[in-house]
Each structure stands twice: as structure tokens, then as C-alpha cells.
Chains A and B, each alone.
Chain A
Amino acid sequence: MTATLAIEDLKVALRNGAAPVLRGVTLQVQPGEVRGLVGESGAGKSMIGRAVLGLLPTDARITAGRISFEGSDLVAMREADRRHLLGRRIALIPQDPMTSLNPVRRVGAQLTSLLRHHLGLSKSAALARATELLVEVAIREPERLLTLYPHEISGGMRQRVLIAMAFACDPALVIADEPTTALDVTVQRQVLQLVERLRLRHGAAVLFVTHDLGVVAKICRTVTVLHAGRVLEEGETRDVLVRPRHPYTRALLAATPRADRPAEALRPVPLALIEQLWSEAHRLDRLAVAGPL
């Protein structure tokens, strides 16, 4: 079976190759799988999502590696072919619902133009489909929501609209880029439930980028732990979270607040460990500059 998403030894560097961000990342997402991608800030987890979507910053370069989606190489693909996949087969749930909708277009116009663009629906068919989608993300009075502007609805509501847009064309892969970070805790839970429900209904695989191990434990079947642009550990979520092999994963778990542990039990990730990981990363960079031995 071809993996939905297969990233092999992906290397990305900023400043036209001078500053490495991803130092050879390999990960796979199988059809229907929910894979968590965790790491601290600067680990490069969002950069992976951006590389898949073709949204890397202008000074970033993919210096090595392959990204294949259902067997075809996204890096080598022509721009027009990739555009054909984006939004239809590969979708994004963005991080910040407040800024990811166009402020001067009504919610309905934004949803229906997506449906008409990719599925070639008529205006009325697109409107009907948009209404169904909003019902799926549990919005009451969907017809009226379609006539509103983004600034007239709450953040939780906007995130629901964005989730509906992501699943609108039955994509094979949804990249969720920290979709719960900008929301408060009660809304977070609802959003996670929604993503889970829509994923099952539409049969999509999800790459869930987050720094929150609690979120990973809730909805991801598999998890990849990232640090300094390297994969430190990966596997079934149960195994990784219960019996972490890598010391960094252990440290990360000890730093995560849990309901069944007193707050005093929390330990920051040891500085020595972080220093060791970074020096390993920099040694890799030097090796890469020196070329193959």
C-alpha cells in the first residue's frame, strides 16, 4: 500500500541554505492514520507542514530529500499540478482562525468558491454542500452563518468554518498546524472532537502538528518526536508515551502537566540534554558541509 505522505530524508535550510532547519526528516503517514508531530518551538515541526504545502518562506530551500504524496513527488511536481492537489487532496487547518479567513468576504462566498473551484459545483449545489458541511461541524443556523463576515463570528466558530473548509473536498491528507493553540481550553476539546469526527467520516489521514503531548495522547495513533530538525523517536502513541526510548521524550513527558500527578512532580527538560542534542545537530551540519567521507 502506498503511504498517503512519505517524507524521506528531507533537509530544509533558511537564508538560502546557510541555516539548516530540517536535518534529514523521514516520516510516513498511512491512509487514514492520525500522526502527531511533536517538538518544542523551533524544532521545525511547522516547517514540515509548510514544505508539504509549498508554503516555505521565500529564503528557504529544500536542499535534499523527497516528499511524496500518494506516490508522486511534490517537490519535483509542476506548480500547476500541485495547485490541483492543494485544497482538494491535501488540505490545511491553519493555526490562527482569527486571520486565516478573508476579512472582507462573507463566510459563504469563501466556502462556496472553494467548492466550485475544485468540485465544479453549480452555485446552488455549492451552497447546499456548504450548508451540509457547516451542519457537520455542528453549527446551528448554517444558512445564516453563510451570510456573515468573519468578524461577526467568534474564534471557535471561525475555527469550525476552517475545519469544514479543510474537509470540504474529501482530502486524503489534512495537515493540522497547531489548530488548537490559539483557542481557549474548552474550545480546544470541541475542536479536537470535530477533527476526529470529520476525519472518520471523510476518511482522511491527518498530520497533527502540535507541542501538546496531551493532544497527541487524545487523538493520534502514531507520533513522531522532533528536535532541532531531527526525528528522535517515532512509533505507536501508546508505546512512545508509556515507554519512551529517547531521553528527550522522557524529559518532555516529565515536563507535561497531568491531572494524576502533583504540580511539584513537573521537571523542566534538563539543560544538559538540550545542549547535547544541539551539539549533535551541529555536528551533523558540519558533516554535511564536509561532504561524504
Chain B
Amino acid sequence: MAELVLDPPLALTSRLAAALRRGGARLWIGAALVAILVLVALFAPLIAPHDPVEQDLMSAQLPPAFVQGGEAAYPLGTDSLGRCVLSRLIYSARIAVVVALIAATLAALIGIALGLFAGSFAGWVDQAISRLIDVWMAFPPVLLSIVLAAVIGAGLTSVIAAIVVVDWTRFARVVRAETMVQLKRDYAAAARVIGLTRSATLRLEILPNLVPLLVTLLAVEMGIAILVEVILSFVGISVAGDTATWGSMIAEGRQIVYQAPWIMALPIGCIITSVIGLNLLGDGLRLALDPVQRR
């Protein structure tokens, strides 16, 4: 009997290197932007030059330091109450990161569970969950969030709850469809033929195949969570009072946009950079993890 010989071995490091190469520039840029966001949020007290709520009415509406009339003590200027814009931007990142992580993860867990359930049970279970998703998605999400915040009160918890309640459908829909596709594949039939139960098949065979997709979706969802938090804090139903958030900074800056445009422009820049960073990271990870792209 002829023996078959394997190709020369691929070292683990070269596998990793190949994955990183497939991810390309998106992976690097995305990872760098997200890393900066997370580090800034983690070390906010160390980086920020001032207390974000400390008011200095004598130096209100100062322009950034590099513009004429700016002061070195306030690198990005001050707002109408004389609070340091840079420090407020830095502390806002904390809210953004917390909301992105917790809300997106919870939405993913609920959505994945229901999606797997619907995708693996044909018939009325699938019908019930799918119709629920359809009806759910017919509600405008921001309106639903506002109603929710009004019912359970403003605050970080209600922001997160609002995002989870609205966005689990995004995961459920995709996971349901992909589960159905994967279950039609030969390897899923093979798993049944070796006597695996339905739940073991889903856990061992199907879920690992969904990972590249879920990673992308999770990253995109984190971006969306940040945007929703911005919207809610812009209309003033997010975290209370003078806590710095990008949304509340935009709301404040809007009123004096002709006198001090940087107060509104800077948080918008932060939001755009964060969301782009998350989207690029998700895209890069999908390319790096996708088994079809391997080789």
C-alpha cells in the first residue's frame, strides 16, 4: 500500500504570519485605531491634562493652543464653561468603549442563541423567531431607544439596554441564515451520521464556522453602539449631568458653532475615527480568519 506523504510542515508562526498578511492594511490600521481608543479610555486619568468637569470661566471658549489666541494649558481649547476640550474628549472615550463592549457583546449573545435556534429548527420555531425579528425591525431603533430610556430612566444601563434590545436582531438574522447554509453542507450531514446530537452539531461543527462572520459583525455592531450612544447623549437621555460624552459635547458645541467650531468638530472627528477603526478591524479580521481565504 502506497503511503501518502504530507506537504512540508507549516510552522505555527508562519500560519499566524499568513493570517496577518491576508488581513492586510485594514487589519493593521483598524487594530491601531481601536488600540488607541481603548488605551485612551483605560488611562484617561493619566493622559488628560485637566479634570473633565473642572470649570475655568475666566478662560471660556479658548481656541486650540496651536491657533492664535490659544493657551498651552488647554491643548485643544475650552468650551463655553471653560472646561478642557481635550480632557473631555479623553474621558468621553471611556463611555464609548464601555457601551461598545458591553452592548455589542450582549446583543451578540442573544442574537446568536436565537439565530442558531431558528436556523436549526425548521418549521414553526423558525417562523416564530423570524416574524418576531421582522416586527422588531419595523420599529425605528432610535425611537425605541428613546422610549426605553424614558421608561427605565436615563443612565448608562439604559443606554446599553436600549442598544441590546434593538440590535440583537442584526445578529439573529445573519446567524439564522448562515446556520441554514452550513447545515446543508456535507460536513454537517456527516456530523449527524456520526451520531452527534443537534446541540453538539451546532456547538462543535456550525458555530466555529460562523466565527469569521461573527467577528466582523461584532466589530461593526460596536461602531453602531457608539453611534447610538452619541445620538442618545446628544438628545440628553444618556448618562446624566456633566459627564463628558461625545454626544453631549456635540450638543453643547452646536449652540456656539459659529464662535467656536472646534468644540463640535473635535468630538465628531473622534466618532468618525472610532467607527472607521472598528469597521476596518472587523474587515481585516474576517479576511484573516476566513477558512475559504486560507491557503
Contacts and interface: CB of A to CB of B under 8 A. Distances in A.
Interface string B176-208: 000000000111011111111100100011001
A104 B4 contact: no
Contacts of B1: 138, 190, 193-194, 197
A99 interface: yes
A99 B195 contact: no
Contact of A138 (B4, B186, B193): B4
A53 interface: yes
A118 B195 CA distance: 8
Interface stretch (A151-159, A223-231, A261-269): A151-159
A144 B194 contact: no
Interface in A52-94: 53-55, 58, 83-88, 91-92, 94
Contact of A154 (B4, B196, B205, B211): B4
Contacts of B189: 55, 94, 100
Contact size range, A = 35 or more
B294 interface: yes
Given A55-B192, A86-B192, A152 B197 contact: no
Contacts of A152: 7, 10, 295
A96 B292 CA distance: 17
Contacts of B192: 54-55, 86
A86 B186 contact: no
Contact of A86 (B2, B194, B291): B194
A102 interface: yes
B4 A117 contact: no
**B interface, how many residues as a size bin?**
20 to 34
Contact of A94 (B9, B186, B196, B211): B186
Contacts of A91: 193-194
B6 interface: yes
A58 B9 contact: no
A113 interface: yes
A157 B5 CA distance: 9
Given A58-B122, A87-B193, A197-B1, A141 B186 contact: no
Interface string B8-51: 01100000000000000000000000000000000000000000
Contacts, number: 100
A169 B119 CA distance: 31
Given A141-B6, A160-B4, A85 B187 contact: no
B116 to A, nearest CB: 16
A12 to B, nearest CB: 17
A101 interface: yes
B123 to A, nearest CB: 10
A162 B295 CA distance: 22
Quick one: which of B186, B197, B209 has the most chain A CB within 10 A?
A: B186
Contacts of B122: 58
A100 B6 contact: no
Contacts of B242: none
Nearest to B122: A58
B6 A145 contact: yes
A88 B4 contact: no
A103 interface: yes
B182 to A, nearest CB: 9
Interface of B: 1-7, 9-10, 122, 185-187, 189-197, 200, 204-205, 208-209, 211, 291-292, 294-295
Given A83-B197, A102-B209, A138-B3, 16 more contacts: A54-B192, A55-B192, A85-B195, A86-B195, A87-B195, A99-B186, A100-B189, A102-B187, A103-B187, A104-B211, A105-B208, A117-B195, A140-B5, A157-B4, A165-B194, A193-B1
9 contacts: A53-B193, A101-B187, A102-B187, A138-B2, A140-B3, A141-B6, A149-B294, A152-B10, A157-B4
